[in-house]
Structures are given as structure tokens and as C-alpha cells.
Structure 1
């Protein structure tokens, strides 16, 4: 299968669906994005205060739209609908996130589309499942899938994550489902319908937090960056040069090497810190002890020593430092859309060699 010969119709909006379209565009497929002539993708209007209100392209829109062809079609007009069906007839993949009832209203049901193109792989995204008419934005899914209840500190109250994470997770689910369907089509020659709901994508991503409850009845609370099962993991420390750092001490060996470097090996045999479970119970006291040591050390000295001993440590970096890092520059994709120079981060982060 030559991905560069695939034709993808991206008739979806906002983030999840369009990011799947961009994924295939990055891999070399022909991707045609279909938008309403008047309204377009709503994210075109999600502008920062610093962006021109006259621009038809926003930074948000740019994040998941790259290397696509654009068509303006109104499904309520027969000529436009016929043109859309002509695109579907030649397509390998169709991406949609129609609101409940819209497929029937436009006579673009799955049955209609499959009759036109039996080889079509139809990727459908919904909020709470194909039978629900609830309007679902990422914030609502973060609220109702448990993420917000766990995110934040005891004082902050529930906090939304600063990216549309549920959309991102649903997009990955849809990519995986479509790739499986493409493999199946190689043998059967038949298309498939791949349904992904934001809700199921969110719940399936609760992983260890879900099993902590399912196996032990432990309901995760807001503990900031702390890990419910590991310590020190997520605690913040300030170095001598005022850098904010964090550790992911995932094993007794990590803890031993950290204490050895900080000249506090007595902690290794202390009954309060000797193994991970008691370190979790006594993590506040442990954090205070470690902070007294770390605040005497320059960050570069500490980071070099941790790297040498393979101890997981990181500096808390603002976004500008991350994106200005030379190692990230080759992940930035540029394209001019509607006369506007746009930039975004690659969605394809794997390398096949």
C-alpha cells in the first residue's frame, strides 16, 4: 500500500478529525478539506487577541491543517452535494464529525456513502457515541471523564489541561482504527466504518488511575504534579540558581543514587523512606529534606550528575524555551494558507527506518 496514493476527504471540523487529515497529509496522501462556503471550520475564528480579525486563518486552525486542498461545499445545494459525492466516490478515507441528525438531513448517511464507494473507509467522530445528540467540546469531556477532578491542587479546584487532550486522544484512536481498516481492506477489498467517541477515548486513557480504583477502590484526588504510586515523583525543587526542577524516581536504585549524590544515604535505610510505599506516605517530609540539599547545588551541576547516573530529572521549561530549542526546529512545519504564513508542530513523530 502506497500512502502517497491515498485520497482522504476531511469533512470534519475543530481538532480531532482535522488532525487525522493532517497526519495523512504529512505522510504524503492527497487530503481535501471540505468546508461550508459561509461558515467554514469554526476554528478559523478562534483567534488570539493579537491576530487580525479579518484573517480567515487562525493559529488554532493552523495547528491541525497542513498540506490540504480546500473546497467550499454546501450539502443543502444539490450541485455541491453531487460534487461532494463525486469526491467520496474516488476517496480511500472520509473523515466526518456530523452532529446527530445531520447525516440524515443531508442524505449523507453511512449507507449512502458506502453504496457510492464500497471500498471507502469512513472515520466518524462523535462526542458521546453515534446515538447521542449531546454537543461535546473538549472541556466538557475533560470534566465528565474524570480528568478535571484529578487535575490541579487541593487549593486550585478542578483544572482543565491546557491542550484539547481528549481531542488529541480521540484522533490517535481514529488513526489506529483507520490504519487497521486499511490493512483489512488489502485482503477483503471492502471498506469499513470506524467510530470513535471522545468519551470512550478519554475513559480508555485513564489507565493506572482507573485500575487504582478498580482494584483498590482508590479515587484519585487533586495532588498537583504528584504521582499517587511513586515518590519522589512530581515534587518541585528549586536549585541554587533558582531553576525549578522535578524528579521521576521510579525505583529504589534511582533513590539510592540520588541520595548518594546529595550526601544523604542515611535516608535509604530510614524506615520512613526505605521503599516506595513508605516514601509515598512520607513524601512531604522527604521533599523538605531533599530541598535543603538541592538548594545548595547549581542546576547545571545537578543535571550533569543526574545524567551521568541515569536518574530521571527535568527542568520546568516555559513553552518558548521548548519551541526555541534547536532539537525542536525540525518539527516545525510552515505553509502559506490564504496568504498567511502559518506554522505548526508535526503530528507525525515516528520514524520508520
Structure 2
């Protein structure tokens, strides 16, 4: 690949944990110069979120901070604030996920910065929006947004999703909004303020569940590993494991019955079309489940493949990351860290002109690039003697 799409753009990143770093990971992979501003002496909390650790650094931190530079600043000191403001003056966009009000108290709020730098795109991620000071971590927001009410078995307790979806989704939406604001800025020469709430990110993703609620006035019930409006669409046991089968239309259903040698099932009035199959879901699961239980996973998947019906095994991460298809798609990135040795991480989802993300820089040590960045700004970190005299 030639120049990456965001080559020449600078992002100043005041975030930690996951929502913000996941946003800036995407921008960094696309070529932006992401400068990660970390608390002096402490850094991003996730550097210590373990085990597991690689050396003395948490795998959690390493997973989302490649292709970034780290600068340590004490934002409560005059020098730290001066350096931060000068750094922001060189940026196309700034992102922070402090609790609302913190940026203003530090003298780095969006109104203050955009008054100084009108073309700046400034993004704030919070749990519940700029007007709420409630802290919001992923699991809390999964509960308040309704997601946990949809996750789990029908007769069991609510569950969070295995992936921290509130963090990941808000990071993705933040990156999308930043890019859109930068496009508009190049047209209008005006910056923007982006207020992005994790709660809003998850509510916006309720899609057909919300549609069902608005149509009926009834909240969607939990369906476990099955679909609320399609059948059969979910997880079924086989003789040696489990598979997901996703029938999206009546033609697929009839083809699946033929491939599984179950013609009577396709002709059963209870299962002729999707509406009937949803209404008789339990009977369908009982009959189809018994047939699948007598076959191996390999046989069921081969039958579904012949029928052109989406289906797949349920794999663990070891199986996923050793799958040749995963590797061939560039979804396992490997790089050498000068202190921690060989590291691997998931790749980016995009391919542009056939190319995808690479590790240009391994995740930085705390403050690894402080001297370089201060030099770029024409600043020199005060000595201990100077600080003491002050």
C-alpha cells in the first residue's frame, strides 16, 4: 500500500481503558499519527489490568495500543498544560474519555480548545453523555441500554455479551464521527465537537429489537441462541458438538430439509413458511434437533453447505486464530517489541486496494516518545531542580 488514508493527520489521544483507545487504534491503523497522552508516572490504567501480562505490561493494554506514540504529561502542572495545549494546536482531532467536566477543570475542554483552534475536531466519549457525570463502564452500560435484557436463555438470568460491546461500539462510532467531521472540515474550514455516549451507541444498535418494541409495545424476550423473528436460526446440538444454522428464507429451509433427507419436515404445515415456523418454534426445534443430534458436526455442516444455507461450527479462540482463513485475511498481526519480544494481535477489518493494517510501531512503553514529542513542540521538560524551585 502507498500512503495510508490518514497519513499526515495527527490525533491527540487523552483516553484510556478501551472505548477511546479502540477508537484511536482504528485511526492509527489507517495511518494517523496518534499521540497518546498518559498520566506521568502512572499511564493508562490498562497497563496494569491483568493477568495475563507480557513481561510487566498487561495483554489488555497491548491489544489496542499499537501504532501510537506515548508522551507522559502532568496535566495538573503549568508545564503539562502548556505542552498539552501546544500539542493540541498541532492536531487535526482530539479525543478524551474523562468523566464529563474533567477536561474543563484541566483547562482543556472543547470550548476552550476550539476557541484557540477553530478547525479542531474534538471528541468526548462518556458513559451517558456530556450532560451526565455518571461514570459508565462497559458492563454497567450493557445493563442500562437494554442489551443484557436480550442476552441469555429465556428462562435464565440476563447476561452481558462476551465482548465488551459498549466500549468497542462507542470506539467505532467515535472513529466514524471523527472521520466525517474531518471531511466536513476540509469543505467548510470549521471544526466540530462530538459528544458520544456509550449508552447511545448501544441503544442505536438495538435495530430490529427496537423496531419490534415500537410495533408491539412489548419488550423483546430473551431467546438464548435463537432468533426472535426467524426459524430455524440458532444453535443446535450434533452427535459430537454444536453448530449454528441460520435459515433466512423459505427456499433455504426447503433446501436444508432436502440436504438432511427430511422431506416430510419441509412439507409439514407447521413449518411451511417462516411465520409458521416462528409460531411453532418449539415443535420445530424438537424435531429438527433430534435429526441433527444423530449426525456429526462435519456431516451437518457439509449438508448445509450443499444446500447453500449459512452454518458454522462454534469455535474457541485457539481455533479461530489458527484457521488458515483467519491468517490469510491478515487477521493475525505479528510484530517485534524491543523489550517484550514477539507479539501478536487481531488485525483490522478493512482491506483497501487489497492491503490492510500492519504494525508500524509496537505498543509504546509509558512515555517512550516524550522527549521526541516535546522537541517537536519546541519544549524542554523542566528538570527536577526547576520543579523544586517553583
Give the counterpart of 1:279 among 277, 280, 285. Answer: 277
Q: Which residue of 1 aligns with 2:374?
A: none
Contact 1:22/1:65 (<8 A) preserved: yes
Contact 2:22/2:172 (<8 A) preserved: no
Contact 1:148/1:159 (<8 A) preserved: yes
Tell me how far 1:335 sits from its aligned partner.
Answer: 4.2
Matches within 5 A, 1:1-353: 3-48=6-51, 50-51=52-53, 55=56, 57-239=57-239, 242-329=240-327, 330-335=330-335, 339-341=339-341, 342-346=343-347, 348-353=348-353
Contact 1:67/1:335 (<8 A) preserved: no
Tell me how far 1:154 sits from its aligned partner.
Answer: 3.1
Partners of 2:101 and 2:193 lie apart in 1 by 17
Residues 276, 305 of structure 1: CA spacing in aligned structure 2 closer, same or farther, 3 A cutoff? same
Contact 1:127/1:197 (<8 A) preserved: yes
Partners of 1:225 and 1:47 lie apart in 2 by 30
Count of paired positions: 347
Q: Which residue of 1 aligns with 2:382?
A: none
Residues 335, 195 of structure 1: CA spacing in aligned structure 2 closer, same or farther, 3 A cutoff? farther
Tell me how far 1:39 sits from its aligned partner.
Answer: 2.6
Residues 13, 44 of structure 1: CA spacing in aligned structure 2 closer, same or farther, 3 A cutoff? same
State the superposition RMSD in angstroms: 1.8
Deviates more, 1:204-213 or 1:98-107: 98-107
The structure with higher relative contact order (CA 8 Å, sep 6+) is: 2
For structure 2, the residue ranges without an aligned partner over 5 or more in a row are 354-390
Contact 1:235/1:287 (<8 A) preserved: no
For structure 1, the residue ranges without an aligned partner over 5 or more in a row are none
Tell me how far 1:334 sits from its aligned partner.
Answer: 3.4
Tell me how far 1:37 sits from its aligned partner.
Answer: 1.1
Tell me how far 1:3 sits from its aligned partner.
Answer: 1.4
Query: Counterpart of 1:234 in 2: which secondary structure?
Result: strand
Tell me how far 1:308 sits from its aligned partner.
Answer: 2.7
Query: Counterpart of 2:269 in 1: which secondary structure?
Result: coil
Contact 2:260/2:303 (<8 A) preserved: no
